[in-house]
Structures are given as C-alpha cells and as structure tokens.
Amino acid sequence: MVTEILRANLRVLDRQQEHVKQSPRVVGKAPNARPVGPKLSEVIAQYIQHHVISRRWSDRTRAENEARFRDLVEIIGDRPIREILISL
C-alpha cells in the first residue's frame, strides 16, 4: 500500500514537472527553495490516515505502526519522497 501511494505521488510529481518544463523559465533559484514533492513524513501521514479512515487498523496496530514510521523518519531523515525512491 505504501508503494502504491508513493508511486501515485511520483506520477503527480512527474505531471507537475512536465508542466514546469513547458512554462517560461526563470533565471536563478529562489533562496531556501524546497525540493519539489512531499516529504516522507507527509506520505506516511496520508498512509496512516487512509488506514484509520478505512478502519483497517486497531488502535494498537496504529500505535505500533506510528512508532515504526517515526523510527524510519529518524533513521533516514524527513527527505523528499522522490529522493528516497530514486535511491532504491
């Protein structure tokens, strides 16, 4: 399920990137510009929300998975999801 969400986010980002390529170019880069796309924590939040809304997880399962996801973000950092997928 996480893989499906990540792939869906990539498809959206690819479409956005194509749109940007067709837009007029701006010279230079904005200071402190954030990378395009959601961060790992944002995708995880969507994944958790999906399972909570669909009632697929018990309270215990939710708590266990949230702890695991927090550990994951702590270990690899809250990087843009595109960076993580490219490194796989």
- pLDDT tens digits along 33-75: 655 789 999 999 999 999 999 998 999 999 999 999 999 999 9
Give the Cβ contact number of residue 71 at 10 Å.
10
User: Does residue 27 register a pLDDT over 60?
Assistant: no
Predicted confidence at residue 37, as pLDDT, reads 85
Rounded to whole angstroms, the Cα distance separating 83 from 13 reads: 12
With bands split at pLDDT 50, 70 and 90, how would you rate the model's confidence at 83?
Answer: confident
Cα 35 versus chain centre, distance: 12
Tell if the pTM clears 0.75, that is, is over it: no
What is the rounded (10 degree) CA torsion for 31, 37, 42, 44? Answer: -140
Domain positions in the chain are 38-88
pLDDT at position 24 is 56
